[in-house]
Amino acid sequence: MDKISVKDARVESAIGSQGILEGWVRTRRDSKAGFSFIEINDGSCQGNIQIIAEATLENYESGIKHLTAGCSISAEGEIKESGGRGQKTEMLATRITIHGLADPDDYPLQKKRHSMEKLREWAHLRPRTNTFGAVARVRNCICNSIHQFYQEREFLYVNTPVITASDCEGAGEMFQVTTMKLDDIAKQQIEKLNYRFDFFDKPSYLTVSGQLEAETYACALGKVYTFGPTFRAENSNTSRHLAEFWMVEPEVAFADLNDNMDLAEAFLKRIFADALKKCGEDMEFFNERIDETKSLIERLKGITDSEFVRLPYTEAVEVLENSNQKFDFPVKWGIDLQSEHERFLTEQHFKKPVILFDYPKTIKPFYMYCNDDDKTVRAMDVLVPGVGEIIGGSQREHRLDVLESRMRDQELNVEEYWWYTDLRRYGTVPHAGFGLGLERVVQFVTSMANIRDVIPFPRTPGNAEF
Ligand code: 4AD
Ligand code: MG
């Protein structure tokens, strides 16, 4: 007999077929008429399927009547039309095999609702809940859309290193990678380390971005993208920051900031449209059960059908200054916008995604193209309601002299970036790219309030459990 997923068994066309369902019990109810209803879920979809177990089954008294939430079973039988509400089908079982019990006295996921905080402590079990199953499926759909979007446009998928010696964003928030024995070093109270004894012969770190390496491939092959894990040792305990997160970084040669904005907008719209199209049941769940105003689906549809606002930083500052809004951080030209400012712009003022561009050069990394005003760089941030910054990118500085002087301004060692500056020495071209934080986009698509709940095992300050 063939295996059949709960998802496939729940559709009308399955009626009449024989098969084997496998999954984890959500509930068991015994009827007075001498049979039981067992609801199982196997992760293939949001909904469960009901299995009817009659008392004539050989293990009915010895096994089936002891099934509780979390037990794992296989059920063989025929898919029938269901008389029950909210379900088209059910299975009439001819055999039920019990694989593992889950003691109801200590299995954590009993029927009662648990807080997201509590579920984080059970990150190994939370994928068995409706919410985390749905997050996993939507996240998977988004990853698939990402690859499809770029593959259809003939971008090459390039894998950039996880370990690097360069600090792309220049913020110094990097995790050092070493094979030196830190405990021994501490005992010897060595004041100056000799990196000749370390694995890479020089200080090395987990990457904060694959951009610099992606640029080398774009400046040879035209259109590329990376998609991998990145690491930031920033000590921010917010609902939008992780120490380990996934980033998609497209990079395009012979492109400027306008091309970059067009790409970013089309990219986000594609992700939203695919989630709505392919994850209907899960999106309904997020709309009804997670989104505070139950307007998630409508919002996402609205965004895919309209244009993003594009606004220079300088004008955004004017909007904020004229807003009569009390901010914790006062606004003036030159400041790095805080999340309260970004959220005001996208949630209250424009009420849609906003692309801010041409930021002051003093608050942005060395690699961004300098405008003629010598005050701003061709940076862009895409802001969305509820989440704030979802994409950060720029046109890159492709003029060797300007780049080197920017590096010196930011006290970078120009020699160490010899390979990066070589791209400007030999056949330099205007080019541009950006980074999309995967978890931020999953947050936006699902309305999940905390970024720790859209990645299977969040890494945050003080927390590397699992
Ligand atoms: O704006 P960021 O720092 O840009 C870069 O790293 C560029 N090198 C990208 C490029 O041009 N190729 O980061 C890009 C995005 C942010 O907009 C945000 O969505 C996400 O990465 N991000 C984080 N997500 C979760 N936790 C963090 N600590 C994040 N820091 C950035
Ligand atoms: Mg940024």
Kindly list the domain boundaries of the chain, sorted by start residue: 6-100, 128-173+208-453
- As a whole number, the mean pLDDT across the chain is 96
SS3 54: strand
The whole-model pTM stands at 0.96
Equal fold, 6-100 vs 128-173+208-453: no
pLDDT at 190: 76
Tokens 């594609």 correspond to what residue? 270
The CATH superfamily assigned to 6-100 is Nucleic acid-binding proteins (2.40.50.140)
- Long-range CB pairs of 54-57, under 8 A, 24+ apart, other chains included: 54/92, 54/93, 57/93, 57/94, 57/95, 57/96
Residue of 219, 245, 363, 441 best suited for mutating to test ligand 1, as the one with most atoms within 8 Å of CB: 245
CA of 341 to the centre of ligand 2 (A): 14
Element (H, E) at 355: strand 354-360
Q: In this structure, how many other beta carbons lie within 10 angstroms of the beta carbon of residue 196?
A: 7
- Residue 443's alpha-carbon distances to 135, 190, 273, 308, 454, in angstroms, are 9, 45, 15, 19, 7
pLDDT tens by residue, 328-339: 999 999 999 999
d(Cα 89, Cα 303) in Å, to the nearest integer? 36
Whether 242 is in the pocket of ligand 1, judged by its Cβ within 6 Å, is yes
What does the pLDDT read at residue 142?
98
Provide the CA 159 distance to its chain's centre, in angstroms.
18
106 CA distance to ligand 1 middle (Å) = 40
Residue 437: CB within 6 Å of ligand 1?
yes
Residue 96: predicted pLDDT: 98
Confidence at residue 145, expressed as pLDDT on a 0 to 100 scale: 98
Sign, CA torsion 411/417/422/428: negative
Q: Which CATH architecture has domain 128-173+208-453?
A: 2-Layer Sandwich (3.30)
CA of 222 to the centre of ligand 2 (A): 24
So what's the pLDDT on residue 86? Answer: 84
Q: Is the CB of 453 under 6 A from ligand 1?
A: no
Q: Which atom of ligand 1 is nearest to the CA of 250?
A: 12
Euclidean distance between CA atoms 185 and 183, whole angstroms: 5
Per-residue pLDDT of the chain (466 residues; tens, 9 = 90+): 899 999 999 999 999 999 999 999 999 999 999 999 999 999 999 999 999 999 999 999 999 999 999 999 999 999 999 988 889 999 999 999 999 999 999 999 987 889 999 999 999 999 999 999 999 999 999 999 999 999 999 999 999 999 999 999 988 899 999 999 988 888 887 778 889 999 999 999 999 999 999 999 999 999 999 999 999 999 889 999 999 999 999 999 999 999 999 999 999 999 999 999 999 999 999 999 999 999 999 999 999 999 999 999 999 999 999 999 999 999 999 999 999 999 999 999 999 999 999 999 999 999 999 999 999 999 999 999 999 999 999 999 999 999 999 999 999 999 999 999 999 999 999 999 999 999 999 999 999 999 999 999 999 999 999 9
Ligand 1, pocket-test mutation among 234, 247, 357, most atoms within 8 A of CB? 247
